[in-house]
Amino acid sequence: MKFGVVVFPGSNCDDDTVGVIESLGHQAVKLWHKQTSLENCDFIIVPGGFSYGDYLRSGAIARFSPIMENVIKHANEGGYLMGICNGFQVLVEAHLLPGVLLRNNSQKFISKNIYLKTGTQNSLLTQALDANKAYKVPIAHAEGRYFADEKTIQTLKDNDQILFYYCDENGNINENSNPNGSLENIAGICNAQRNVFGMMPHPERAADIALNNVDGLEILKSIVNC
């Protein structure tokens, strides 16, 4: 599988993402935002960072970069696409995923390890994960509070589209384990066709034994071990 990692001005997790994919034995190339070709990549990742300095609104300007026309086309034709943190923000701005990502309820930038629990194993991203395990993965965002109207939230539940919930280290999903005020503790979702994925936590930052944490690697392994 060939991965393409989109790079905008302000992206800062592209090298981490490429490094993890290559460590799993797959090819990964960087795709500069001004180009239009996806270079025959099978799986596109929009990484974390601060695209365009988060001016206007996180992801709002990046969504109109030249490469996004073909990223959107790739997704609409069934190609795999994943957005991590700022990448998730870009994908909701592009209307490839429902809902919005608002300012954290603390109104502060949050950077710390949190715990995740998968909400479904019916996706490429979560198929190999332990449904009972709390995965420790870092977050680093100011606008990560997932919000959608009541009908959209119900649709996500009915269609089994909630990939991850924020939880505590014992896997309990509650208000105390919610770091940013996201509705229903939602940390990641997929589209109805199950080929577009978005998550706020950073699995690529928890994928090296030198960091004493490889929980994020398990999430990315789920993709390549299909």
What amino acid is encoded at 92 in this protein? V
Rounded to 10 degrees, the C-alpha dihedral 144/157/153/200 comes to: 10
- Catalytic residue chosen out of the listed positions 13, 74, 202, 218: 202
Q: Would residue 202 show up in a list of annotated catalytic residues for this protein?
A: yes
- Catalytic-labelled residue, pool 85, 93, 143, 190: 85
Amino acid at 116: L
Give the DSSP letter of residue 107.
S
Q: Please pick, among 93, 143, 204, 218, the residue that the annotation labels catalytic.
A: 204
167 is catalytic: no
Check if 33 is active-site: no
Reading across the β-sheet that carries 135-141, which strands appear in turn? 27-32, 2-7, 43-46, 80-84, 196-199, 186-190, 162-167, 110-118, 135-141
Annotated catalytic residues are 85, 202, 204
